[in-house]
Structure 1
Amino acid sequence: MAQQDAQPLAQFVPRFRTDIYPFIAPSKFRGSLQDKVTIITGAAGAIGQGLAESFAVAGAKLVLTYNRTPPPPALRERCLKFGASEVTFVQCNVAELEGCEGLVRQTLELHGRADILINNAGANGLGPLHTQPPEDFIKEIAVNFHGPYYLMRLLLPHMREQRSGVVLNIASRAGTVAIPYSTGYCASKAALINLTACVQKEIDVDGLGGEVCCYSLHPGGIKSAMTLKKYSAESVAALPAQAQAKFVNALDIYDDSPYLNGMVCVALATGVGKDVLRGKYFDVGQDLEDVLAQGEALKQNPDLYGLHTSFLGGLKNGGVPEGGYRREEWGVEFPGFEV
């Protein structure tokens, strides 16, 4: 049990991680997802390969997608060596419904089912909204949000029918904060986090909450090809002069292992934490064991690990003020009606 689990919630701070740790050690999960059909989009990049290798250790049947650049052949060899029961590469542009339909069709024809969906493919540009080409903004929304929506919409009926399934949406901390010059990325990741929560509530209403589980995650700061391109010297130099200094050292915080995200996803896919974290947003840098030790507190405070808004005076979001409204606040005739 985590050392911090006895602390009052107000004083509780999870340990922070940048690499795999004992609670999510690969040896603990070896074969734990044996033959589970696992779709991972964007598998050619650093985060995708880390996910593939982590789920390989768990024994999954991997369906690894890519858009233009295939994953390196060595990835298949590593995954089979680590324990994957099967590895299939599928080309798929997740930004297009037709591509997602083809991916689902191929997966079901090959395996007859889909157990785990990991929406990892992403697009992330840098620049002012008012100068960004609209097609670039739309592409970010399409890859980061439409793709996960398409695949969830296509696969959730199968998961519901088989009464089992896991969706892991790789979101970002950017979906919880406002970052200048990253508008498309922030907006699409915020939408993805809320999509995850909304869909899980629908699943729960239908009585499948413990059987079909959805999660959104911040995968940590990983020096992926996408991140390196976004914060390259050329990209930063294209920003307004007064903003460049803010991003010159942006890559300094991107030093996490992709296997941290991979093994947290494996743990969640096995059902660890489903009672308190399904439908939630989780930062993989937080020690999962520490957080799960606060399970009762998570149940009692639904705002934790989700998007929410705070107001002055403790006003509720959409709620009626304590004591109700006074007549004079809403009963006055609108002066524009006076003749």
Structure 2
Amino acid sequence: MSSKVVLITGGSSGIGKSIGLFLKTNGFIVYGTTRKLNKHSSFNSFELLEMDVTDVGTIRDAVSKVISNEGKLDVLINNAGIGITGPIEETPHDEILKVFDTNFNGPIHMMKAVLPQMRKQKSGLIINITSIAGYMGLPYRGVYSATKGALGLITETLRMEVKDFGVHITNLAPGDFVTNIASGRYHSPVFENSPYKSAYGNTLELINEGVHDGEDPILVARTVFKIINTKKPKVHYKVGTFMQKFSLFLKNALPDKVYEKLLLNHYKL
């Protein structure tokens, strides 16, 4: 049986690179994407293609190249994403749109690009990397949570729409993992005269302190490997610490205001 062909968006670093390395080690043919190929001239973990999830032309070219090279495309992993923090009131709307364009519109563009080939094959798997943050509104991270929550709902919808074509779509929500997402995250400034100065400033410090305390991305890679080897993937998968996953249980089990109080206490608001 021929090796499965996998395409990973945002494959040059972090979770995407970890997934690609793990899958290649286990016999998969792996392609990753990056917006600026010239920044990764020494990258040799697997083949990288230059592509931007916000540019439909580059998506079309990258998907066509994989299919031309391999004759098929078995797995798409929508991993590329960017972060954003700030009070909703003070976050520039063009920055909000930019994050939605990458985290939400980008995966939709990708799925539209690969579905014709997967229908033709009568087989295929799409894994959308969302976030545990997408299951709840987090203070000063609301836009990021909204993009990931929206992608999770699109995943649920598309599963039902493509079920007769032999294509499976699932949602994998990581908790906090050590990646370079913070380096590309947009932070709304902490303005001196802002009514949010103290609360947002303290929350931002808490978020930044936790950047390097996340789990090893290899845990996400192993979960992806498990999903690929599952005949009928579930709708949702979560990977993270016990407390991160337990927070989702509490979200469903507790009254809304009680859960909101827990979040306020956690963020010291």
TM-score range relative to shorter protein: 0.7 to 0.9
> How has the CA–CA distance of structure 1 residues 71 and 34 changed in structure 2, closer, same or farther, with 3 Å as cutoff?
farther
Q: Could you tell me which residue of structure 1 aligns to residue 204 of structure 2?
A: 247
Match of 1:215 among 165, 170, 177: 170
Shift of 1:309: 11
1:281 aligns with 2:236: yes
Aligned counterpart in structure 1 of residue 182 of structure 2, from 224, 227, 233 = 227
Partners of 2:189 and 2:93 in 1: CA distance: 20
> Identity rate of aligned residues, in percent?
25
One-letter amino acid of the counterpart of residue 14, structure 2? A
Which SS does the other structure have where 1:249 is aligned?
helix
What is the rounded CA distance, in whole Å, between the counterparts of 2:59 and 2:204 in structure 1? 35
Q: Structure 2 regions of 5+ residues with no counterpart?
A: 243-247, 257-269
Q: Does 1:126 align with 2:85?
A: yes
Max Rg structure = 1
Compute the displacement of 1:186 (Å).
1.4
Deviation at 1:133, TM superposition (A): 2.3
Alignment RMSD, CA only?
3.0
Using the alignment, how far apart are the partners of 2:198 and 2:184 within structure 1?
Answer: 19
Q: How many pairs does the alignment contain?
A: 244
Deviates more, 1:108-117 or 1:66-75: 66-75
Counterpart of 1:226, as a letter, is I
Correspondence list, 1:168-183, <5 A: 168-183=127-142
Q: 1:139 Cα deviation (Å)?
A: 1.2
Distance 1:188 1:284 in 2: 19
Indicate whether 1:264 and 2:215 are aligned.
Answer: no
Q: 2:10 aligns with which of 33, 42, 53?
A: 42
**Cα distance in 2 for residues equivalent to 1:71 and 1:50:** 18
1:67 to 17, 35, 41: 35
Equivalent-residue separation in structure 2 for 1:191 and 1:243 (angstroms): 24
| Structure 1 match to 2:53 | 94
Q: Secondary structure at the match of 2:89?
A: coil
| Equivalent residues of 1:44, 1:69 under 8 A apart | no
User: Structure 1 residue 143: deviation in Å?
Assistant: 0.7
CA contact (8 A) 2:82 2:184 kept: no
The 1-side partners of 2:101 and 2:205 are apart by: 28
Residues 223 and 229 of structure 1: is their aligned pair in 2 closer, same or farther, counting only changes over 3 Å?
farther
Q: CA deviation at 1:281?
A: 2.1
TM-score normalised according to structure 1 size:
0.64
1:151 CA drift (Å): 1.1
- Distance (whole Å) between structure 2 residues aligned to residue 166 and residue 215 of structure 1: 8
More strand per residue = 2
TM-score (normalised: structure 2): 0.79
| CA distance in 2: counterparts of 1:104 and 1:245, whole angstroms | 43
Classify 1:309/1:203 alpha carbon distance in 2 versus 1 (closer, same or farther; 3 Å): farther
Q: Does 1:198 align with 2:157?
A: yes
The answer to whether the 8 Å contact 1:54/1:262 transfers is: yes
**Secondary structure class of the residue paired with 1:35:** coil
The equivalent residue for 1:325 is none
Secondary structure of residue in 1 paired with 2:102: helix
Q: Which residue of 1 aligns with 2:104?
A: 145
> Does 2:60 match 1:106?
no
Report the alpha carbon displacement of residue 246 of structure 1 after superposing the two structures with TM: 2.6
Name the CA distance, whole Å, in 1 between partners of 2:161 and 2:8: 24
Partner of 1:168, secondary structure, is strand
Q: Deviations over 1:76-122 (max 9, x none)?
A: 2xx4xxxxxxx321111101222211211221222221110000000
Matched, 1:51 2:19: yes
**Which deviations, in whole Å up to 9, do the C-alpha atoms of 1:23-60 show, x marking residues without a partner?**
xxxxxxxxxx9621110110122111111111112211
Counterparts in 2 of 1:62 and 1:134: CA distance versus 1, 3 Å: same
Distance 1:263 1:310, change over 3 A: same
Contact 1:229 1:235 in 2 (8 A): no
- C-alpha change, 1:220 and 1:311, in structure 2 (3 Å) is closer
TM-aligned CA deviation for residue 225 of structure 1: 1.5
